[in-house]
Amino acid sequence: MSLTKRSIAELIGTFWLVLGGCGSAVLAAGIPDVGIGYLGVSLAFGLTVVTMAYAIGHISGCHLNPAVSIGLVAGGRFKAGDLPAYIIAQVLGAILAAGVLYLVASGQAGFSTSGGFASNGFGEHSPQGYSLQAAFVIEAVLTAIFLFIIMGATDKRAPAGLAPLAIGFTLTLIHLVSIPVTNTSVNPARSTGQAIFTGGWAIDQLWLFWLAPIIGGIIGALIYSFVSKE
C-alpha cells in the first residue's frame, strides 16, 4: 500500500477519533439528567479506535496518534521515513474534526469555547485542578502502558483478530483514569485540534500534551521490545 493511501487512511481515522471522542464530550457529556458523563466519553474514545482499527488496520495500521507512530518506530515496528507523513495526516485529521465539531457546537445559542471545548489542560485548566507535574506523570505513564499493550496485542504471537478490542478497551480505561486530571490526551494530534479552536491557554499548554505522550510512548515500546525478546 502506498504511503499516500496509508496517510489518507490515518487522516480519516484520526478525524473519526476526534469527532467521536471529543464530540461526545462537547455535545453529549453535560446534558442535565441524560448526559453521558465521564463514562460515556471514555467509551466513545474506545469505540472510535475499535471501529476504525477494523476499518483501516489492514491499510495503515490505524495509529491515529503521533505518540503511537513514534513509539512504534522506537519499538522497530514502523519505518522512521514514513513518520512525517503519518504525523501530518493525523494532525490534519484532528484539526478537520475539531472544525466540524466547532461548526456543530456553535449552532447552539450561547456556545463558547471558554468552557474548554474538550481541550487538555493542567492547573486551573485541569477538570479537577491537578498540577503540571501530575498532568505530565499521568500522560507519560498512561501512554507508556498504551504502547506496551499495542505492541503486545499486535505481536505475531498474540491471538489473531483481537488487537482492536484490546487497544480500544485500553483507551477507554485510560480515559476513565485521567479525564479528571487532564481531560485525557495521550495523543498530541487530538490535543492540537481542540487547542487550535480554543486558543489562548490551550495553545500555551499544548507543549505538555506533545512532550509527555511522546516520551511515554517511546518508553512503553522499548520496555515491550525488551521483555518480549525470547
Question: Taking residues 21-35, what's their average pLDDT?
Answer: 88
Residue 80: pLDDT band with limits 50, 70, 90? very high
DSSP alpha helix (H) spans, 161-207: 163-182, 188-198, 201-204
Three-point CA angle 141, 143, 144, nearest 5°: 65
Give tens-digit pLDDT for 208-230: 999 999 999 999 999 999 999 87
Residue 41: alpha-carbon gap to chain centroid: 13
| Domains in the chain, CATH or no CATH each | 3-109+116-228 (1.20.1080.10)
The average confidence (pLDDT) of the chain is 96
Q: What span, in angstroms and rounded, lies between the C-alpha atoms of 89 and 65? A: 10
pLDDT at 32 over 80: no
Give tens-digit pLDDT for 120-169: 999 999 999 999 999 999 999 999 999 999 999 999 999 888 999 999 99
Check residue 230 and report its DSSP letter: -
What is the CB neighbour count within 10 angstroms for residue 33? 4
* Residue percentage of the chain with pLDDT more than 90: 90
Q: What span, in angstroms and rounded, lies between the C-alpha atoms of 230 and 226? A: 9
pLDDT at 4 over 80: yes
pLDDT at 1 over 90: no
Q: What span, in angstroms and rounded, lies between the C-alpha atoms of 209 and 186? A: 7
